[in-house]
Amino acid sequence: MTDIDYERARKIVDAALERSREIGVPMSVAVVDRTRELVAFARMGGAPIFTARVATAKAFTAVSLGTPTHVTQQFTPSGGPFYGLEAIGGGVISTIPGGIPLVEDGEVSGAVGASGGSAEEDLDVAEYAARALGE
């Protein structure tokens, strides 16, 4: 099992920034490895300051659970199996759409998180960026 390295992480961040520019939404983008450590990060001019932490939390959550944050979100409403997950996560967990695990050779090697737009825009940018890993 391999961790995402800086060169591949930078490629993912660059793809996310490209997509963010295409849709006209300034964002923060974070890539973490499978041990949840930050490997690459960027915050575009105009992206709100808080998006840095949110993007990182989305990536942390996606790699920790091995599933996209928009899928995890389905399990967090009141009465759901992960209800309260974000509250007990100490600020490093987010089930807001925009966190995508990075899968290489069938194994999770890291994750990307995007924040700055609507939930749909964040998800679009993160999915676009994750696809860059296979190119």
Would you give per-residue pLDDT tens digits along the chain (135 residues)?
678 999 999 999 999 999 999 999 999 999 999 999 999 999 999 999 999 999 999 999 999 889 888 877 676 656 666 655 665 556 677 778 999 999 998 899 999 999 999 999 999 999 999 999 886
Going by the DSSP 8-state scheme, the letter that residue 47 receives in this structure is S
Exposure string for 14-35, b = 16+ CB within 10 A, e = fewer: ebbbebbeeeebbbbbbbbbbe
Using DSSP bridges, classify how beta strands 38-43 and 107-115 pair: parallel, antiparallel or unpaired.
Answer: unpaired
* pTM to 2 decimal places: 0.89
- Domain ranges in the chain are 6-134
Q: Which residues contact 64 (CB under 8 A, 6 or more apart)?
A: 36, 93
CATH of 6-134, picked from 3.40.50.11540, 3.30.450.150, 3.30.460.80, 3.40.50.880, is: 3.30.450.150
